[in-house]
Amino acid sequence: MISSLRGDVIDKGLDYVVIECGGVGYRCLATGDTLATLRRGESAFVLTSLVIRDDAHTLYAFSTSEQRETFGILQKVSGVGARLAMGVMSVLQPADIARAVEEGDIKTLQQAPGVGKRLAERMAVDLKGKFPALEATSGQATIGDIAATGNDTALQSQVVEALVGLGFTEAKAATAVKKILEEQNGTTDPSSVLREALQRLSGQKR
């Protein structure tokens, strides 16, 4: 079991990072908050969770123990796998997820991509009392800290690809991203566009 990695960041994308340890590059999927703490060419330390499936072994990276613990807790709900858990964590902080579950705040849980009313209700029931006391994460790095691409076409492609990976159709993803880029003329931050697109598309599902 690989529980952590320490090494140099040799590559980073919108939803992944590659960390070289002992001459081996480990590709890890991660949320924007974790990626915001990592810089290409610099040394890094991340906590990890290895998810083994029949068709793939996937590493997920986290900058805090709260993030990794939340990732594991979310998957205790029937119908919530690793990808959906990461989708939830891409729009909600661990403390916000815990609070929403404890208070039965279904609307907050539904902000996450792929989480409809029924699944949100199941999460609130099945996970109640299972989260540790999580303090507010206001001191953590924000998604807006992630390095920008500076190219609208490349930016749009990156965000659309990430949205498709989260379960949205390419057509809906492309339409949403294009509209956001038009409204936020000059933006170069792919992660801020991704977060806005997730909120809008999740709202359409409801």
pLDDT band, very low/low/confident/very high, at 150 (cuts 50, 70, 90): very low
Which helix (H) or strand (E) segment is 108 a member of? helix 106-109
Residue 105: pLDDT band by 50, 70, 90 thresholds?
A: very high
CA distance 152 to 136: 34
Q: What is the pLDDT of residue 149?
A: 33
Q: Is it the case that residue 141 has pLDDT exceeding 60?
A: no
Copy the structure tokens of residue 82.
């690793």
How many residues in the chain?
206
* pLDDT band, very low/low/confident/very high, at 152 (cuts 50, 70, 90): low
Residues 125 and 127: their CA atoms lie apart, in Å, by: 6
Q: Which pLDDT band holds residue 136 (cuts at 50, 70, 90)?
A: very low
Which residues sit opposite 27 in a β-bridge?
18
Taken in order of first residue, the domains within the chain and their CATH numbers are 4-62 (2.40.50.140), 65-126 (1.10.150.20), 148-205 (1.10.8.10)
Residue 172 vs residue 111, higher pLDDT: 111
92's torsion region: left (phi>0), alpha (psi -120 to 50) or beta? Answer: beta
* Residue 139 pLDDT > 70: no
Of 133, 51, 71, 75, the residue nearest 99 (C-alpha): 133
- Average pLDDT over the chain, rounded to an integer: 83
